[in-house]
Amino acid sequence: MSAITKRVHHLADGRELIYFDDADTTLPPDRAPDRRILDDRPPTATMRQDVLTGEWISVATARQNRALLPPAELDPLAPQSPTNPSEVPSTYDVAVFENRSPSFGPDPGDTHSADALAGLGLGRAAAAVGRCEVICFSPAREGSFGSISRSRARTVIEAWADRTAALSVIPGIAQVFPFENRGEAIGVTLSHPHGQIYGYPYVTPRTQRLLASIDEYGPSLFADVLDHERAGERVVLAGRHWTAFVPFAARWPLEVHLLPHEHVADFTETSTEQRDELAGLYLRLLRGVDALYGDPTPYIAGWHQAPVHTHRDRVRLSLQLTSPRRAESKLKYLAGSEAAMGAWIADVAPEEQAERLRDAVARADAADPV
């Protein structure tokens, strides 16, 4: 897929804008400049340490001003028009740009090492250095990753790999996380098909707990999990390079993990063959998730990657897709036990959900083959 083309531009306030053109694009190479007059970017947010857990909390008050379910004609992720001064000046296949109101960044100048963030103390604060990017999967005003073509899915995967590489070399960034929030039940504020890519200044709490498990279990944890699941009844679909399964101890009523068969730390280490297969396999999985109940399912699709500088030989790239949907018209709300204590209660047996998902994928394949 070497024909996927990357074109780097900038927005009116200096933010980076990158176009990724499909291998079979019909777009011309030229892109229009951004002629808007924009306010200065907000200052870098501040992080504060929760002394009870050791976790860092970013206080990003500029996020209060972000768009909230605007009408379609004012979609800020659609290509600009005379009546819509959006974030992307030209039509596009896939577009990535720096978030105007980021949780981390935009100024990477005041960086700090992992050692500087280690330890525990009252009143500890630090600059929330890092980078937050928006990735638009399509110029369409409605949809999600599952609604794009296979060629476009392949372009998005290429963009994930490119941006993981780019963010990983920014001073102060410790981990890179591509993800998609889908549906108002998740808290999505834009219906445009898009995701985000975060570059964190620390290794996230979820990954730190994973590292502790690897230290206790051993470096073969991911390989053994994959072998265990592939030998069981919770596999949803599998290819030559990837397997999707409902995990043995799924927390959410709908939860699917997707692992590569060979160890790769993040998207930068995936081969052309792995990326090609993933484009179709991931689309089939998402369309199956939507076929469960016949209408779009809210979800969070998070691509968990190894830290930039450590444990790359032990932490394997993995998708973890979760949804609060526990029945056609029911959602799981995180009440006292889960939200307050982190003690989860599963509403649906993982084996039962895996069988439903296999049937749903089969129906989606029959209705609209990828």
| Residue found by looking up tokens 């011309």 in the block | 28
Using alpha carbons, list the distances in angstroms from residue 234 to 196, 207, 227, 238, 248.
29, 24, 12, 11, 8
Is residue 241 flagged as an active site residue?
no
Catalytic residue among 194, 257, 263, 304: 194
Compute, in degrees rounded to 10, the torsion defined by CA atoms 187, 189, 192, 193.
Answer: -30
Which amino acid type is present at position 323? S
| Residue found by looking up tokens 């857990």 in the block | 53
Which residues face 46 on adjacent strands?
A: 59, 127
CB 249 within 8 A of CB 119: no
CB atoms under 10 Å from CB of 33, counted, come to 11
Indicate the SS3 state at residue 79. Answer: strand
Distance CA 16, CA 10 (A): 5
CB 141 within 8 A of CB 82: no
Within 140-295, strands assigned E span: 175-182, 194-200, 235-238, 242-245, 254-260
User: In terms of Cα–Cα distance, which of 205, 212, 213, 180 is closest to 194?
Assistant: 180
Compute, in degrees rounded to 10, the torsion defined by CA atoms 83, 86, 92, 93.
Answer: -120
Q: What are the CB-based long-range contacts (under 8 Å, 24+) for 40-44?
A: 40/13, 41/13, 41/14, 41/15, 41/100, 41/106, 42/101, 43/107, 44/104, 44/105, 44/106, 44/107, 44/110, 44/127, 44/128, 44/129
Q: Please report how the helices 272-291 and 350-367 are oriented relative to each other, as an axis angle in degrees rounded to 10.
A: 100
Active site residues: 194
